[in-house]
Each structure stands twice: as C-alpha cells, then as structure tokens.
Amino acid sequence: MYKLLLCLRYVARRPIGYLAIVGVWLCVSMLIVVTSVMDGFMQKIEVAAKGLFGDVILEPAGQEGLAYYDELIERIRQRVPEVEAGEPFILSYGILRVPGQPHYREPVQVAGIRLPGREKVSDFEKGLHFQRGRPPTWDPPRKLLLERLAEERARTEGMLAEYTTGGKTLGPRQQDLIDRLGVALSLQQRAAFLVQNAEDFREDIQRLQEAARKAEEDGDYEKVDSLLARIDQLKQESFEPPADRVILGLGIQGLSRRTEDGEVIRYLVPGHKVMLYIFPLGRTMSMTDFSPNQQLFSVIDDCRTGVYSIDTGFVYVPLETLQKLNNMEAELDPDDPNKVLRPARCSQIHIRVRKSRADERELNRIAGKIQGVWAEFRKEHPNAAMTEMYVQTWRQRQAKLIGQIESQRVIQIIILAFISVVAVVLIFAILYTISVQKTRDVGVLKALGASGGGVSAVFLGYGAIQGFLGSVLGTATGWLFMRHINDIRDWLSESFGFTPYSREYFLFDELPTEVMPATAAVILAAAMGAGVLGAVIPAVRAAIIQPVEALRYE
C-alpha cells in the first residue's frame, strides 16, 4: 500500500515530474498525428483503388487485350466461390476537347465500363454526383437530371452570394473566383435548357430529316442544304444517344475547379458536349496508320473518387463505344455477318470477392485460384490473349504508390521515435534527481523493513504513472487535433491568411481524420513502457543502497 501512496505523493508534490509528463504528452501527440495521417492516406488509396479496379485485376501485357471475357468471368465465378462478380474494363488514352473552345485540349485516360454492371465490382456509383443514390446508367431519367441541375445551380448561386454580399473589399483572387462562378452559373443554366428541350430537339431533327428527304425527291437542293444546316445545328444542341455519353472525372482542368476551401465549381454538367480523340491501341498497325478516332459525347455525370490524381485524369464512356474507338470491337466476316473472325476484347477484368474486407493474404490466395482458372481457360481458347496474363490484387496493382507512402510513413515514425527518446531521458533525469534527493527517505523505508524490490517498485510505479498520464493526454490531444484538423486549417486561413495546404491541388479533398484504435493502443503502451524504462536505473539505485549509507546521506 505504501508503494502506491508514495507514487501518488511524488506525482502530486513534485512539480518537476510534470516536465516528464509534458514530454511524453508531446511525443505521443506527434506520433498519433503522423501515423493517423499516413494510415488515413493508405485507407484513401485503398478505397480509391478498389473503387476503380475492384479487389483482383486480370490484365494481359500489351495493348491488344483479352477476348472471350464474359465467358472467362462466368468460368471464374463457377470455379472460385469466393468471387462475387466480374466486369470487363478498357483503359485507353486520348485527348479531350470542348466544342466552341478551339484552344482547349487535355490529355486523359479513357475508361470503358458497363452501366449498369460497374457497381457490382467497385464503388463507382458512390462517386457520381448527378445520379447519386440510385443505380447508375448511361440513360438516367430526364426529370432526375433537371432536379439535380437545379440543385447545382442553387449551390453555385449560394457560393456567388457569399462573396458578393456584405460590401466587403475583394482582392484579385476573390474577384477572379466571382467571375468564374458567374461563368459556371451561365453554363449550368444553358445545360438545363438543353436537357429540358432534348426531346423536342430530337423530334425536330426527325421532322427536318423527313422534310430534307422530300425536298431531295423534289430536286430542291437549296432547301435540302438549308434543312441539313438546321439539322446540324440541332444535333449540336441535342443529347447524344446513350452509347455516346461520357462521365467526367471531377477535377479535369478547365471543366471544373476546386477552390482553396474544397468547394467545387462545375462548368460542364449534363447537357454539355465534349469531343474525344482516342488513340486506337487495340490492333496491331503500322505507325503510318496511327491516327486518332474522334467521337462527340454528351456529358451525363461526373465522378469523384476523392483522390485528386485519379479524378483529374479519367473520363468514362460505354464499354462497347470504346471498343470501336480503340479498335477492340468484334471483327465480322464481310461475306457472312454472323461469322466472327476476331472476337471483341477488353483491357482488363475486375473482380470483386464476397468478403468485402478480405486482407491481402486472402486476396493473394483467391488471385492464385483465378490464375489456375485462367491457365485452364487458355488451353481451350489459345487466342484469348496473345501475351502473358497478370493476376494482381489491388495492392499489387498500386504497389508503386503504396510503397512510396509506406516508405514515408516508416521514415517519419523512425524520426519521431528518435525524438521520443527525449522523453525517456527526461524521465530518467527527473527520477534520478528525485532518487538522490530522497536518499534519506529510502533509508528510513529500508530501516522500517521495506525490501529493495519494494523501494524500486515505488520509482518504477512513479515512472509508469508519468508515462500513463502523458500517453493518455497525448492520445486525447492527438485524437482531438485529427478530428478537427481540417477545421483548424480553415480557421488559420480565415483568421491569419495562412493556408497549411490547399485543397485546390492537394492529393485528397481533405486530410484523413480517422485515428486507428490499434495504432493508438500501441503508441499508448509504448509510452507507458518508456516511462518504466526511464525509471529503471533510479529504481535499481534505490534498491541497492544500504540503509546506513542512506541515513547518513547529506
């Protein structure tokens, strides 16, 4: 009992011990913040990678692709019970242009996907803006689009009102943002008009086409030219059919903008059009034949994964459309349209497993089983893929990016661990000083019958209490800081004009804020261990000192 009383007395009556508690507190807080940010980055990468690629990816080397993909997917589902679904995927490269803006061109990665179907293997639908909360499709109801466009206009008007009301003096950046909001609002209103009248435009086109045919029969070619010009104009304003629609990655330069506060300004929304130039990599050809295929698309939605590097570089189009543009469509016999000379191909197959949170070891095991199914399938279909097939988990597919983050995480933890040694040294110095000052007290305790182990337990307990208090305070501080880190960033920006990081160009929309319980528990236990470690030498000194020498100590 005396051990606990003395420990508590030293904690309460020895203010110098508070320095050790503060040292542990600061070290634990730093470790909590750094490990939480890095763990959060890893979680964000996992969510984005699985949202784009699924759990397991089948991908042949080269650009020619994989044939008989639907048959292979069905075979995998039958032979590998852990597999829930599979979907083909095409990845190509192209140039994005906007009609009416001759100087705009942006390199993009073009993904061919099926809708519906994509949601079976990924979280793609969770990132959609105008079709959020419903199964995604290339042909959503016009009523839904008009409702969501009205919501987007109201949000843009609210942002504009926030900057223009109050009579505040605006700087160049604020004035530029106001101008951009005005442009966005005008474009959104125009898009709503086009969506509202899409059906009327389609009927007008049909009526004018019929009139053009009649005029041609009558030999009135001047009227034909006039009608065709009007048809051309209406086609520019009408919605393209579902096969020619596109979902834009949110953040493509010039098509949307993210402010420093993380708010999104959308310029191109459903109703607008873009032109894609696709480089056809899916067939073997000479360089003299290498010229891009072009296609006009109507924007139907935008997608946000939360990872800036993905959102600013991807556009999504129907799988079958990209097969044609990428020279991966089925090649039919000119003499017999029912005879397939060359089957349609895809770039990858994405697989989702039934256990949504399967760890890497489990995914590797499943990938091995899928590799076995492929080996058997290839014997039956030797022309399915002309090159080696890679079967990878999402982590292996993103190994380069994940490796960089993990390396930075390890380096920063090592640096902070060295800094944390200061807490151990501080506890040692303080306890050694106290053990020297309390030499006579130690002698009295031993004279009264206390054992060496009991006396050393007092100092070890004191060190453990310091480590415990410091680690608890550090964990609480680190957790609160991470919980409000984005709010703190906003407060610093608004109050002092200091922006620690800009959401406009940051890798993610905002810093991850989740503290992993397992990580916090390890750090807390390590901090308590550091307190005990710092108390070992003073405890040993107090244990071995002789009572007579202690009582004679001045």
- Residue 29 clears pLDDT 90, i.e. is over it: no
At 545 the pLDDT is 61
Domain-located, residue 55: no
- 297 bridge partner residues: 274
- Residue 1 clears pLDDT 70, i.e. is over it: no
Q: Are 279 and 421 contained in the same domain? A: no
Q: Are 356 and 420 contained in the same domain? A: no
Q: Are 321 and 429 contained in the same domain? A: no
- Residue 69 clears pLDDT 90, i.e. is over it: yes
Domain-located, residue 116: yes
Q: Are 100 and 159 contained in the same domain? A: yes
Once rounded to an integer, what is the mean pLDDT over residues 219-246? 79
Q: Are 23 and 66 contained in the same domain? A: no
Q: 3-class DSSP state for residue 435? A: helix
Using alpha carbons, select from 380, 393, 331, 322 the residue that is nearest to residue 59.
Answer: 393
Encoded tokens for 379: 């014997």
What is the tally of structural domains in the chain?
A: 2
Band of pLDDT at residue 554, cut at 50, 70 and 90? very low
Domain-located, residue 297: yes
Domain-located, residue 56: no
- Average pLDDT over the chain reads 78
Cα-flanking dihedrals φ and ψ of residue 374, to 5°?
-65, -40
Rounded Cα distance, 464 and 24, in Å: 11
Encoded tokens for 537: 């030498």
* Contact yes or no for 456/542 (Cβ under 8 A): yes
Q: Which residues of 25-36 are buried (b: 16+ CB within 10 A; e: fewer)?
A: bbbbbbbbbbbb
Q: Are 315 and 204 contained in the same domain? A: yes
Q: Are 160 and 281 contained in the same domain? A: yes
- Checking 480-485 for CB contacts under 8 A at 24+ apart, the result is 481/29, 481/32, 481/33, 482/32, 482/33, 482/36, 482/37, 482/513, 482/514, 482/515, 483/513, 483/515, 485/511, 485/513
Segment among 239-248, 377-386, 398-407, 523-532 with least mean pLDDT: 398-407
How large is the greatest C-alpha to C-alpha distance in the chain, in angstroms?
129
The 10s digit of each residue's pLDDT in 447-462 is 555 565 666 666 677 6
Q: Are 411 and 537 contained in the same domain? A: yes
- Residue 207 clears pLDDT 70, i.e. is over it: yes
Higher pLDDT: 399 or 264? It is: 264
* Contact yes or no for 468/525 (Cβ under 8 A): no
Q: 3-class DSSP state for residue 91? A: strand
With residue 264 as reference, give the H or E element that holds it.
strand 264-266
Domain-located, residue 57: no
Collect all residues with Cβ–Cβ distance below 8 Å to 351 and sequence separation of at least 6: 54, 55, 56, 57, 58, 76, 83, 85, 86, 121, 370
At 395 the pLDDT is 80
* Contact yes or no for 56/70 (Cβ under 8 A): no
Encoded tokens for 131: 């079709």
Pick from 334, 359, 387: which residue ends a domain? 387
At 505 the pLDDT is 46
The 10s digit of each residue's pLDDT in 94-136 is 999 998 888 899 999 999 999 999 988 988 888 899 999 888 9
At 138 the pLDDT is 95
Pick from 341, 366, 387: which residue ends a domain? 387
Q: Are 15 and 79 contained in the same domain? A: no
- 393 bridge partner residues: 56
Which residue range forms the structural domain that includes residue 304?
A: 62-387
Encoded tokens for 447: 């004279």
Domain-located, residue 534: yes
Band of pLDDT at residue 357, cut at 50, 70 and 90? low
* Contact yes or no for 162/265 (Cβ under 8 A): no
Rounded Cα distance, 8 and 262, in Å: 49
At 161 the pLDDT is 84
Q: Cα-Cα-Cα-Cα dihedral of 90, 96, 98, 102, to 10°?
A: -150
Q: Are 354 and 463 contained in the same domain? A: no
The 10s digit of each residue's pLDDT in 71-89 is 999 999 999 999 999 999 9
Band of pLDDT at residue 54, cut at 50, 70 and 90? confident
Q: Are 375 and 251 contained in the same domain? A: yes
Domain-located, residue 52: no
- Residue 247 clears pLDDT 80, i.e. is over it: yes
Pick from 354, 387, 420: which residue ends a domain? 387
For 455-505, give the DSSP string. HHHHHHHHHHHHHHHHHHHHHHHHHHHHHTHHHHHHHHHHHHS--SS-TTT
Q: Are 331 and 444 contained in the same domain? A: no
Query: What count of other Cβ atoms lies within 10 Å of the Cβ of residue 340?
Result: 13
- 336 bridge partner residues: 333
- 275 bridge partner residues: 97, 296
The 10s digit of each residue's pLDDT in 150-204 is 999 999 998 888 777 765 556 777 788 888 899 999 999 999 988 888 777 777 7
With residue 349 as reference, give the H or E element that holds it.
strand 348-353
Examine residue 135 and say whether the peptide bond preceding it is cis (omega within 30 degrees of 0).
no
Domain-located, residue 172: yes
- Residue 553 clears pLDDT 50, i.e. is over it: no
pTM of the predicted structure, to 2 decimals: 0.74
Once rounded to an integer, what is the mean pLDDT over residues 396-407? 69
Q: What is the DSSP letter of 1?
A: -
Q: Helix 172-196 to helix 142-164 angle, to the nearest 10 degrees? A: 160
